[in-house]
Amino acid sequence: MKVVNKIYLTLFSKWFEITVLVFFNVLSVPVILSKWSTEEYGIWLLIQIVYGILYLPNMSLAEYVYNENFKKGKNNKKSVFLNIFSALPFAIINSILIILLLLVDKHFLFSNNLLNIPKFFSKDWNLILIIFSIVILFTSSIVNFLNQYLRLSGYYPHFSWLNTLRRITLMIVPLILIFFFNFDLFNSIISLAAIDIIYYLINYFIIF
């Protein structure tokens, strides 16, 4: 594939992703609020914010390692793989520590009190955090490092489109399940976890 084609393919995937996500973000508010209470919708948003904060170190580390490897280039394979497999244990350990902290939190309810989670959603809140953290441990905490050499080797547009499809699916599928099948907060989050598992299994397949 020519370099110009790769640039346009990647650019189109990003613009397509932005357009679709903006549309469905606007649509999601009335759709979800027609089925859920404002408290339930607030927790839905809060879960996404909390995960963004908890796994910011992992995402930042993966981005830093990719930038360092980009400077080295795909031909410096030994150095690139050394960077990847040196950073990978830190991401895994960080994910394990987050799971352990969330297990402690489940017992002492620190986050519940700090974020003023309603008692009715308290049990679901803690369970959702733990389930999603376990999924992340075996998915993005590993794959975001393993796919770096392929991205450097000219497969960046492929991963860009794959990630675009993931984000769009994560937006559309819960809306369908909530509106047509009356999924509650817990089951909707589980559907997100299932989508991510499928997405990262495809990633593993491509990598290996």
pLDDT tens per residue across span 107-136: 999 999 999 999 889 989 999 999 999 999
- From the list 39, 83, 79, 44, the residue with the least C-alpha distance to 61 is 83
Percentage above 70 pLDDT, the chain: 98
> What is the average per-residue pLDDT within 147-155?
89
| Type and span of the H or E element at 44 | helix 38-54
Judge residue 29's burial from the number of C-beta atoms within 10 Å of its C-beta, 0-12 exposed, 13-18 middle, 19 or more buried. Answer: exposed
pTM assigned to the model:
0.89
